[in-house]
Structure 1
Amino acid sequence: MKAKTLIELLTLSSNLYVMSKDEELMQHLKNMTEKGKNKINNAMKETLVDEDGNEVEFIDKLIIKAGQAKQELEEKIEEVVAQFYKKINIAHTDEIRALNEKLAEADKTIALLEARLNKLEQKGE
């Protein structure tokens, strides 16, 4: 097994462990489950109509609601992971990308300053 894969597995397992120990997250998931039951019951009672004016079938309603729930869960997981990275001071890829861009800009500025300095030195000679 490559070292990179091993590190990724360790990171993933530590993330899952931290999330499982996060009482606030667990309470939130419990609340979402309770709300989800009520929402599913209400969603199944309401009638959805497709673009042709036909009533959407039960399974199609479930698929639509499952997609919405998946999106909400992904957003919450993203928030928790970002908070976890902040807690353990691991730079997020967006932060690394921004720092690399700043470094590139700084390198350009340094190159321009060196060129100006060289010109001033040549004039002084």
Structure 2
Amino acid sequence: MKTKTILEWLTLSSSIYFLAKDTQLLDRIKELSEKGKDEINKIVSESQLDENGNELEFVDKLILKTHELKEELDDKIEELVIKFYKKINVAHLDEIKALNEKLEKSDSAIALLEARLNRLEVK
């Protein structure tokens, strides 16, 4: 009987945990939707002018804002990719080319040194 009671309490506590987690999620979604509403209202209330001096329509404002957000997202993604590459030590193509050039210069310098050494050995 005690084992059954413990299992029931565990089940009940896990259910309460998931309900609390869902409540937090719903609160977060509500908060984000309110911020979204405020942002949309802000966009609509602002008067933006096109190159001719005419006020932009709502759809044009949304398109403009979407392009701005896309550019910001692209910049953030680029930063994250660069950080990720540095973290896993993946060499960039430019770095590989630079290393290959250094290797070729080193090979030619070694060849010159060998030629000088051979010349000195002959004397």
Q: Normalising by the residue count of structure 1, what TM-score does the alignment of the two structures yield?
A: 0.56
- Residues 3-32 of structure 1, C-alpha deviation per residue, up to 9 Å, x if partnerless? xxxxxxxxxxxxxxxxxxxxxxxxxxx798
Distance 1:49 1:58 in 2: 12
Counterpart in the other structure of 2:90: 91
Offset of residue 116 of structure 1: 3.2
Deviates more, 1:77-86 or 1:43-52: 77-86
Offset of residue 86 of structure 1: 4.8
Offset of residue 72 of structure 1: 1.6
* Higher relative contact order (CA closer than 8 Å, sequence separation 6+): 1
Task: Count residues in correspondence.
Answer: 93
| Higher Rg of the two aligned structures | 2
User: What is the alpha-carbon root mean square deviation over aligned residues?
Assistant: 3.0
Counterpart in the other structure of 1:25: none
* Equivalent AA in structure 2 for residue 122 of structure 1: R
| In the alignment, structure 1 residue 106 sits paired with structure 2 residue 91 | no
Distance 1:59 1:85 in 2: 38
Counterpart in the other structure of 1:66: 66
* Equivalent AA in structure 2 for residue 76 of structure 1: K
Q: Give the SS at the match of 1:115.
A: helix
| In the alignment, structure 1 residue 78 sits paired with structure 2 residue 78 | yes
Distance 2:45 2:100 in 1: 57
Cα distance change of structure 1 residues 35 and 121 upon mapping to structure 2, 3 Å threshold: farther
Counterpart in the other structure of 1:43: 43
Q: Normalising by the residue count of structure 2, what TM-score does the alignment of the two structures yield?
A: 0.57
5+ residue gaps, structure 1, are: 1-29
Offset of residue 37 of structure 1: 4.1
5+ residue gaps, structure 2, are: 1-28
- What percent identity do the matched residue pairs reach? 35
Offset of residue 100 of structure 1: 3.2
Counterpart in the other structure of 1:20: none
